Amino acid sequence: MTFEPVVESAIRDLVLANRILSRENVIDDFGHVSVRHPTDPGRYFLSRSRSPEIVTRDDIMEFALDGEPIAQNGRSMYAERAIHGAIYLARSDVQAVAHHHTRSVLPFTVADIPLKPVFHMGAVIGPHVPVWDSQPEFGDTNMLIDALPKGHSLARVLGNGRVVLLRGHGSVCAARCLRSVCFVSIYLKENADLLLKTLPFGSPKYLTPGEIEKTADMLLSPMPLARAWDYWLARAGFSGL
Ligand SMILES: [Zn+2]
């Protein structure tokens, strides 16, 4: 099935975002990234259940915000697509969502140490990164966000931010475009790596709230996003497209 050009362009960028987040070791065998339908805000695009490193155009499926496929055609689907629909429902400003289990982020989901920006590129994660815990509301579960009530609960904890951590599981990033969600996801990992290297030396000097706001506004503007996107494309093997 082919769509109008603006939709085809979004789908193409979604395939590239899958490859980029895989190449940058943010997403591995599990995890996923989606984009809201550019002309129908009640829908979004997400791959069928497949590792992002090998996602192609034909794997991309269209979903309603309740996670129901528009045309499943026998394809298997990600169990945790409730993450995407619930955030698109709660946040009209969000156009792209990514979920990953980046290893360097995981310590901050289980230890009482906040994940805050320690270098300028890390400012994009925002001044406060909350941790969502399924236990108080849902008790013992399989740890997956595999139903809408869990997705809604997660979206509430995300609030107006760009990042929410999942206790003992991973993280979710939400942003206003695919380039931004890749930027936030990649520098969430880089900031966590740097913080883990810094903590053994003592209490880090974090960016101030004012520095975080000004730096994030600058980094998530068109020029830095275009420059980073071109770099990631080259590293993922798509330079010159
Ligand atoms: Zn997960």
pLDDT at 148 over 80: yes
- Return the pLDDT at 123: 98
Active site residue 8: no
The rounded Å distance from CA 166 to ligand 1 centre is 9
pLDDT at 195 over 70: yes
The rounded Å distance from CA 5 to ligand 1 centre is 32
In this structure, which amino acid lies at residue 144? Answer: L
Cα distance between residue 138 and residue 28, in whole Å: 27
The rounded Å distance from CA 114 to ligand 1 centre is 20
Beta bridge partners of 173: 98, 163
- Return the pLDDT at 241: 66
Q: Of the listed 4, 53, 80, 190, which one is catalytic?
A: 80
- As a whole-number percent, the residues of the chain with pLDDT over 70 amount to 99
The rounded Å distance from CA 143 to ligand 1 centre is 8
